[in-house]
Amino acid sequence: MNSKVLLVLVVLMTSFYGFSQRGVRIGYVDMEYILENVEEYRDATEQLNAKAEKWKQEIDLKQSVVEQMKKDLMAEKVLLTDELIAEREEEIQILEKEMLDYQQDRFGPRGDLVLQKQLLIQPIQDQVFNEVQKIGGNKRYDFIFDKSADVVMLYSEKRHDISDLVLREIGRTRKVSASNRKQEEQSRLEQFEAEEAEADEEISDALRERQENAATAQAEREKQAEADRAEKLRLREERKKAYEERRKKLLEEREANRKAKLEERKKAQEQQKDSIG
C-alpha cells in the first residue's frame, strides 16, 4: 500500500469523524469510462493514433533505407577502397542519427505526440473536471474519487458511481455552448491541421531531398564500383597477356634450343663419319 493510499485513508478517517453529525456523502467517477463516451475525446484520440501511425511509417522507411545502405556496403566492401568505405560508413551514421532524432522528436517525452495530446485532449479533460466540480457543489458531495486513478478502491457500491451523471451534465453544457465550442474546436483543429500540413510539407521536402541525395550517392557508388571492377579486369587481362607472352617466348626459346642441339648432334655425327672414312 503506497503513501497516496495511506494519505487518503487518513483524510477519510479524519473527515468521517468531523462529518459524523450529518453523515458523509461520497461519490466516485470512472474517468476512463467518461472520456471513452465523450465524442470529442474519441475523435481526438483517433486523430492522434492516425498521426502516430503515420510517423511510425516514416521512421520505418528511414530505418529501411539505413539497413539497405548497410547491406549494400557489406556486399560491395571488397571492391571499395578504405577511403570509400569510410565515406559510406559516415553517410550511414548521419542518416541513422537523423532517424533517431526524428523518432525522439515525435515520440520522446517532449515530442510532438505528447504535446499534441495535451493540445487536443487537455481541454476535454478540463471540461470533465469542471462538471465534476459542479456536481460536487450542487449535490453536496463531501468526496468524489476517480476510480481509474492511483487511489485503490477495494470496494465500491454502484449507487455511488456518478459517471453517467457527469456525462449527462457534459451533454447539457455542450448543448448550451455547442455553437461557440464547435467553432472554437474547429478553429483549433484547423490550426492544428495547418501546422501539421506545413510540418509534413517540410518533412516531405527534407525526406525527398535526402532520398534524392541517397539515390545520387548510390549511383555514384555504383559507377565507382563499376570503374573499380573494370580496372581490376583490365589489370587481370594485362597480367594474363604478359603471362601468355612469357610462356610463348619460353616455348620459342625451348624450341630454338632443341633445334640447336639437334643441329649440333647432326654435325657431330657427320664429322665422325668423315673421320672414319
Tens-digit pLDDT profile for residues 115-167: 888 887 778 778 888 888 888 888 788 777 777 666 555 455 566 677 787 78
Question: pLDDT band for position 61 (50/70/90)?
Answer: very high
167 domain-assigned: yes
Range of the domain at 83: 43-119+158-236
Asked if residue 173 is part of any domain, the answer here is: yes
Decide: 65 and 95 in contact? Cβ < 8 Å: yes
- How is residue 6 written as a grid cell? 495511506
pLDDT number for residue 60: 93
Would you say residue 195 lies in a domain? yes
Those residues whose C-beta lies under 8 Å from the C-beta of residue 66, and which sit 6 or more positions away, are 92, 95, 96, 99
In this structure, is residue 47 part of a structural domain? yes
Determine, yes or no, domain membership for 204.
yes
Percent of the chain with pLDDT over 90: 9
Whether 94 is covered by a domain: the verdict is yes
| 34 within a domain of the structure (yes/no) | no
Which contiguous run of DSSP H or E holds residue 202?
helix 178-276
Per the structure, how many domains does the chain have?
Answer: 1
Element (H, E) at 143: strand 143-146
Rounded (10°) angle between helices 178-276 and 82-107: 170
Measured distance CA(91)–CA(217) in Å, rounded? 10
Q: Return the closest-CA partner of residue 62 out of 181, 185, 211.
A: 211
Look up residue 183 and give its amino acid: Q
